Structure 1
């Protein structure tokens, strides 16, 4: 079973998010020359899971309706 994926970890820059191993950024176990995979919150902001099809259902955070202005810009 896969580990639960954290929505907004406190220090995402310290971990590689590329697989379920969650290696420290300074000690990657993926192979020689591998680079750290960023957490979506680092690239897309803290509300990254509200937009798109991530197949994540946060139990403790209520779903907000999508902002029509944001959808119009993406479309």
Structure 2
């Protein structure tokens, strides 16, 4: 079973997101290229999972980004 993919990790720059291993950026194990794979939030923004078909099932308590650039829980 694959690990649940985090929507808003605290420090995405410290992890390679290229496979289910989630290796530290300075110790890649999978050989998925010469550098780390960015988290979608680093490339697209905090609302990355709301656009496109990522195949991610959101929990009812999932945090959704607010219009002002911060995150808040849905009410």
Instruction: State the structure with more CA Rg.
Output: 1
Give the 3-state SS of the residue equivalent to 2:2 in structure 1. Answer: coil
Name the one with the larger helix percent: 1
Q: Provide closer, same or farther for how the CA distance between residues 32 and 55 of structure 1 changes in structure 2, counting only shifts above 3 A.
A: closer
What residue in structure 1 maps to residue 44 of structure 2? Answer: 44
Higher relative contact order (CA 8 A, sep 6+): 1
Between Structure 1 and Structure 2, the one with more strand by share is: 2
| Number of residue pairs matched by the alignment | 63
* Unmatched tracts of structure 1, length 5 or more: 64-75
Pair 2,46 (structure 1): closer, same or farther in 2 beyond 3 Å: same
| Structure 1 segments (4+ residues) deviating >3 Å | none
What CA distance in whole angstroms lies between the structure 2 residues aligned with 1:34 and 1:49?
26
Q: Give the stretch that moved more between structures: 51-60 or 1-10.
A: 51-60
Partner residue, 1:61:
62
Superposition TM-score, scaled by structure 2 size: 0.76
Could you tell me how far apart the structure 2 residues matched to 1:19 and 1:9 are? 16
